[in-house]
């Protein structure tokens, strides 16, 4: 089982460390990086949605 699979299945950082033998700091950095990447994807998606909404509003004359 990989580190990512364990995170997806809800294992805690302590459990991952015990099972895989990684340091606690390594596991926490991995979790934080993964979280940051997910937030970045969400931000990009929402920015694109806002851009599309603004384009639609401009097209239909609703945006000033």
Answer yes or no: is 64 within a domain.
no
Q: Which residues form the domain of 14?
A: 3-58
pLDDT recorded at residue 51: 79
Task: Work out how many domains the chain is built from and give that number.
Answer: 1
Q: How far is CA 9 from CA 16, 46, 55, 58, in A?
A: 11, 27, 40, 44
Mean pLDDT of 47-58: 79
Answer yes or no: is 63 within a domain.
no
Mean pLDDT of 23-35: 95
28-32, 40-44, 53-57: least confident range: 53-57
Answer yes or no: is 29 within a domain.
yes
- Global pTM? 0.64
Mean pLDDT of 35-56: 84
Whole-number Å distance between alpha carbons of 61 and 53: 12
The confidence band for 62, taking pLDDT boundaries of 50, 70 and 90, is low
- Whether the CA torsion 53, 42, 5, 7 is positive or negative: it is negative
Q: What is the dihedral of CA 46, 47, 52, 55, to 10 degrees?
A: 150
Helix (H) or strand (E) holding 60: none
């Amino acid at each position: 089982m990989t580190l990512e699979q364990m995170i997806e299945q809800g294992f805690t950082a302590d459990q991952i460390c015990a099972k895989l033998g990684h340091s606690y700091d390594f596991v926490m950095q991995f979790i934080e990086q993964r979280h940051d990447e997910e937030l970045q994807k969400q931000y990009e998606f929402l920015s694109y949605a806002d851009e599309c909404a603004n384009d639609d509003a401009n097209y239909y004359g609703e945006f000033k």
